[in-house]
């Protein structure tokens, strides 16, 4: 049984991205254990001189490192991911590096027609940064548009075509996470590069 972490990419109390991850946790329970985690309580990143990372961030980093893969579901604000998600990623690349070579699947739900497509592209670029170095599943997008109308009263997706697409993408992600395990020849080097990287030295 795969163990996955599903990160709700917003601090909103009423997010359809949270609903999407909860649906995935239920729908794929026979394939993977998906723990849905929140970023609502993460403090504002302030680059402390002590280089001390808050316990909440350390706990999340440990969960990411122990997982077989991470699913991030993001809304789109002004063609980008929410500030709260960027804040979380800032902490998760500050003297801790849980995302290095970690398989990541990106999903997104939005109230409009585009399904967070630009935010997903923004997130891909961020996760590919020198301090994060995640392994993002290529050529895949799950874009849930009109998300306020997408779920029934039990929190299940109503559109069978969308469900089939999500099933296919998640099946691919399980295979992708297995493949990434074989890409371990440079893991220690990648982690060391992330640790040593500094924009000030460029």
Give how many domains the chain has, as a whole number: 1
Please state, in angstroms and rounded to a whole number, the distance separating the CA atoms of residues 85 and 11: 8
- The model carries a pTM of 0.92
Q: Which of 26-40, 56-70, 167-181, 186-200 has the lowest mean pLDDT?
A: 186-200
pLDDT at 140: 84
Q: Which of 85-89, 125-129, 190-194 has the lowest mean pLDDT?
A: 190-194
Q: Which of 82-91, 122-131, 192-201 has the lowest mean pLDDT?
A: 192-201
Structural domain of 60: 2-201
CATH of the domain at 132: 3.40.50.360
- Whether pLDDT at 112 is above 80: no
């Amino acid at each position: 049984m795969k163990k996955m972490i599903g990160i709700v990419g917003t601090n909103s109390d009423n997010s359809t991205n949270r609903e999407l991850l909860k649906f995935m946790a239920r729908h794929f329970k026979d394939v993977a254990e998906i723990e849905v985690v929140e970023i609502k309580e993460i403090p504002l990143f302030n680059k402390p001189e002590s280089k001390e990372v808050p316990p909440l961030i350390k706990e999340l980093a440990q969960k990411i490192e122990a997982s077989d893969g991470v699913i991030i579901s993001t809304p789109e604000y002004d063609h980008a991911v929410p500030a709260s998600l960027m804040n979380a990623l800032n902490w998760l690349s500050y003297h801790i590096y849980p995302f290095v070579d970690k398989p990541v699947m990106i999903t997104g739900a939005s109230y409009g027609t585009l399904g967070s497509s630009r935010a997903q592209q923004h997130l891909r670029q961020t996760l590919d940064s020198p301090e994060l170095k995640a392994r993002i599943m290529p050529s895949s997008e799950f874009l849930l548009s009109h998300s306020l109308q997408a779920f029934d009263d039990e929190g299940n997706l109503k559109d069978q075509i969308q469900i089939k697409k999500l099933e296919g993408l998640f099946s691919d992600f399980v295979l992708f996470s297995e493949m990434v395990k074989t890409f371990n020849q440079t893991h220690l080097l990648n982690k060391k590069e992330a640790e040593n990287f500094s924009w000030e030295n460029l």
